[in-house]
């Protein structure tokens, strides 16, 4: 019994499955934007409890989501 294959017996690795990543990226980005708006509405409470970093986390998540959407749109045009 062998636990390996010789180089000539190996099959090539399959390519990535085709898929549209725009929907999950858009959904998650929208969720970050909703949380950012909610955080801005509660800014007084967040600042009094020392949790203003929540706003920056939401802004970073929304920004990264927008970058991911732009990258995916550019990739799909090719």
Query: Domain locations in the chain?
Result: 22-77
- With 0-12 / 13-18 / 19 or more C-beta atoms within 10 angstroms meaning exposed / middle / buried, residue 27 is exposed
pLDDT, position 5: 82
Q: How far apart are CA 41 and CA 47, in angstroms?
A: 12
Which pTM does this prediction carry?
Answer: 0.76
**pLDDT given for residue 3 in this prediction:** 81
Give pLDDT tens digits along the chain (78 positions): 778 888 888 888 898 888 889 999 999 999 999 999 999 999 999 999 999 999 999 999 999 999 999 999 998 888
């Amino acid at each position: 019994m062998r636990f390996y294959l010789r180089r000539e017996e190996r099959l090539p690795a399959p390519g990535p499955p085709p898929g549209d990543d725009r929907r999950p990226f858009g959904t998650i980005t929208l969720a970050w934007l909703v949380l950012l708006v909610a955080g801005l509405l509660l800014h007084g409470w967040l600042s009094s409890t020392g949790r203003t970093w929540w706003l920056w986390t939401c802004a970073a998540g929304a920004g990264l989501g927008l970058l991911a959407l732009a990258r995916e749109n550019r990739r799909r045009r090719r």
